[in-house]
Amino acid sequence: MSEKQPDPGASDYDLGMRNRRRVLGNAWVDKSLLNVNDFNGEFQNLITRYAWNEVWGREAFGDKTRRLMVLSMMIALKAYEEFALHVRAGLDGEPESRLTPDEIKEVILQAAIYCGVPAANHAFGIAGEILREKGYLPAKS
């Protein structure tokens, strides 16, 4: 059974967690789960069921398309922490949904026109640092 195919016995939360781990990686999800508490637990449960199951689990778009869409939306919202998370996850993703530096660059260039140059400039800075960390760009001298 493919990771994206529903498991008839799994709950919406379990299906969402499976997608979340596939897209963001186990290390990130495990780290984020350490921060769940009585105050934010219901929110974490909600986004796992709805964002990660109901939306990321839909078949109309594959993970790669969704990754590109999320990057552009995070630039538009100036949600740079989430942008960085999804750049890292995109570069480290499963081979069929992995993003290349050129694909990330194209998203940012498109965002420059539709979201504004300052937003894209900041996104280039964030993505550039991540690309350096991952060895796609040379270290700053």
The full set of domain ranges for the chain reads 12-55, 63-133
The hierarchical CATH code for the domain 63-133 is 1.20.1290.10
Phi, psi of 49 (to 5 degrees): -70, -45
State the pLDDT at residue 60. Answer: 96
Asked which of 3-7, 47-51, 92-96, 108-112 is least confident by mean pLDDT, the reply is 3-7
* pLDDT tens for each residue of 44-92: 999 999 999 999 999 999 999 999 999 999 999 999 999 999 999 999 9
Query: At a CB cut-off of 8 Å and minimum separation 6, what does 90 contact?
Result: 67, 71, 97, 98, 99, 103, 104
pTM: 0.90
